[in-house]
Amino acid sequence: MRHLILSAAIPALLMGACATAPVATGAPAQQSAQRGPAPHFPRDLTPAGVAAADDHLALEQVDGAEAQAFVAEENRKSLAALTGDPRYETFREEALAILTAEDRIPMPSFLGDGIGNFWQDAANPKGVWRRTTLDSYRTAQPRWETLLDIDALAKAEGKDWVFKGADCLAPDETRCLVNLSDGGKDAVVVREFDLTTKTFLADGFNLPEGKHRIEWLDRDTLLVATDFGAGTMTESGYPFIVKTLKRGQALAQATEVYRGEQGDGGYGVSPAVYRDKDGAVQAVIITRPLDTFRSETWELANGRPVKLATPARVSIHGVLGGRLVFSAEENWSFGGRERRSGDLLAVPLAALRGEASASAATTSDAAELVLRPEARQAVSDVRVLSDRLVVAYTDNVRGRAAVFSDRGGQAWGRVDIAVPDNLAVGLGDSSKSRGEVFVSTQGFLVPPTLSLADADAATLTALKSAPAKFDAVRDVTEQYEATSTDGTKIPYFITRPRDLAMDGTAPTILFGYGGFQISLNPAYKPEMGKLWLERGGVFVQANIRGGGEFGPDWHQAALDGNRQRAFDDFAAVARDLERRGITSPRHLGIYGRSNGGVLTSVSITQHPELFNAAVIESPLIDMLRYHELPAGASWIGEYGDPRIPEEAEWIAKYSAYQQLRPEVDYPRAYITTNTRDDRVHPGHARKFAARLGDQGHDHLYYEDTAGGHSNDADPVANARRWARHYVYLAQQLMD
């Protein structure tokens, strides 16, 4: 099996000096904003009471007449303000040149005997799926063979197709399941593609649009979790039933092999087939999510599911030598031994099944424990090969890598891989048969270098280096720490001009996320460097709680009722920037998307005095109704359940949509989303913009019509998107 993943960004960072700030002071929200309830704050926090207090429910109808009229008028005003700016066309051209540049690194995946790549440029904005040999890939001008032209396919079929990756059956990898999205949605249609003939098979597997979870079992059988009809999807809109689908069968004829429950949370039940280097199946693992982060792990053995005794919070990386390789995301007791949250483990499947014969012969403590990160460390990625693991981890948000070899019941052998210091390290695709892994290193001011790691030798061989896309000679990156309200040290990175006058006038973007255990390991952001840094701007990236920079505990510190900690951390960084003389509220703007939209919308409602700009993109904002909007209920494990009175009370304290007040002087915000975003409903952004307008607050709202949540549909459209962002930020922070 080979997955070609298109949307996973490889993390990076550039380190500098580290310092500590004094304890931040101040209340969690602006004091003047706490005098009595906001005018649209529900008197009744039940779902019915929240809905009754909402005067913009019509904007939740994605294609409703009132909603579309609202979008059209808001787009008209915003485009006039943004694209009418004399800087817009320059920004758009510069962004487009970067996004379609021919000298970008073509990110590779192992594909059969060769290398696969998906490529978008000005001539093929929807992209081409192509392949070459590894020897050719090493050259400056690889000779590519086109497998599938998405632009030509979209034109021929009259569809707005967006390529969402392919899954090819090992070991030959000539039969592939191609995922195509209409307009960039998460939901895809799946078609079987033959790489030898470069055609879709007329009698091949063909699944209608849906949020499928699919794996090859063998050449004529798939494991499928999808919408099998009424009553087969969770309230979040994800599947909870797994079936085997034989070649030639319709979905209605598939055979059930596993069933969760309709009340399950998370992103739906998911099958995974792990194979050895020759393509033989080692294990079939099914993950049943109970909520966003807790799950049950099952093994499908001889067609029958067996529950495994894994931790409830777990990240599974693969199977090696009969052992399940996973990261424990909570403290865990097993076989009389205690494991810590964050440990990387390799535990025999037989022991996890509870087989009596395995209990007596279970491996030693040292053999099961692969890596225990230290206090400021975290495992970031793992690749499972035939007899060893390649592990990327962070040490105070600096990238490291090592190879761990299986020594059969003894402590794992470890050899560190020499990587450049003060950069991020990201793992790409891997090949068990070759014992190789693609590795990327990069920093804020250091363009990416792609290397090939030989796991046997624990060495890196550089393959390609991206050229610089902006002039970074006069800039420097430093790492500092702010102190949050409860005394916790919050690291953040500043990229700024070396000769910056510390007088508080620097136009500064503060970027954050703070959720879902996602680490913000700073990457080389060429469009930011060209459109912002080259014009004297400062870029700051905050590693607030809720992320995974220091492992599961860093994430779980801001879950549920402790969510306020993430917002306090972000505000503490803003204050620390002012204290250091980097910037001031007049010149400080914030940017966040998706969960970062929670962060930015809350930040301007709790602390409008700290900021003069906010780009709020593809956001969650109405946190009292987020579970009602697809696919919101899947995130209850992150935010809590507004249907439970106790939890609704602490969610309501920060939900920005309900907390808006007409008398507060908010910064002129730019809210933007996508009509075809089926991950975070566009109703969040629409309603927030509408209420800002109702209360007389100046704002901009723009809604694109295609692209989906990940904004990966079209580099031409993406160039316009970045130009709008930076025009707005320049207007607010530079003018």
Catalytic residue among 440, 519, 594, 655: 594
| 709 labelled catalytic | yes
Q: Helices 65-82 & 683-694, crossing angle to 10 degrees?
A: 70
Which amino acid appears at position 28 of this protein? P
- Quote the CA–CA distance of 366 and 351 in Å, as a whole number: 15
Among the listed residues 203, 196, 156, the one whose alpha carbon sits nearest the alpha carbon of residue 180:
156
What separation, in Å, do the N-terminal and C-terminal C-alpha atoms of the chain show?
53
Strand pairing report for 588-593 and 613-617: parallel
DSSP 3-state of 688:
helix
Query: Are 426 and 438 contacting, i.e. CB atoms less than 8 angstroms apart?
Result: no
Strand pairing report for 221-225 and 241-246: antiparallel
| 433 labelled catalytic | no
Query: Are 393 and 374 contacting, i.e. CB atoms less than 8 angstroms apart?
Result: no
- Quote the CA–CA distance of 234 and 251 in Å, as a whole number: 18
Query: Are 431 and 439 contacting, i.e. CB atoms less than 8 angstroms apart?
Result: no
Among the listed residues 201, 164, 204, 167, the one whose alpha carbon sits nearest the alpha carbon of residue 182:
164
Distance, CA of 213 to chain centre: 18
Query: Are 535 and 504 contacting, i.e. CB atoms less than 8 angstroms apart?
Result: no
Question: Can you list the positions of beta strands (E) in 436-507?
Answer: 436-442, 449-454, 459-465, 475-483, 489-497
Query: Are 479 and 489 contacting, i.e. CB atoms less than 8 angstroms apart?
Result: no
- Quote the CA–CA distance of 255 and 172 in Å, as a whole number: 27
Catalytic residue among 587, 684, 709, 725: 709
- Quote the CA–CA distance of 57 and 687 in Å, as a whole number: 8
- Quote the CA–CA distance of 392 and 424 in Å, as a whole number: 9
Q: What are the residue numbers of the active site?
A: 594, 709
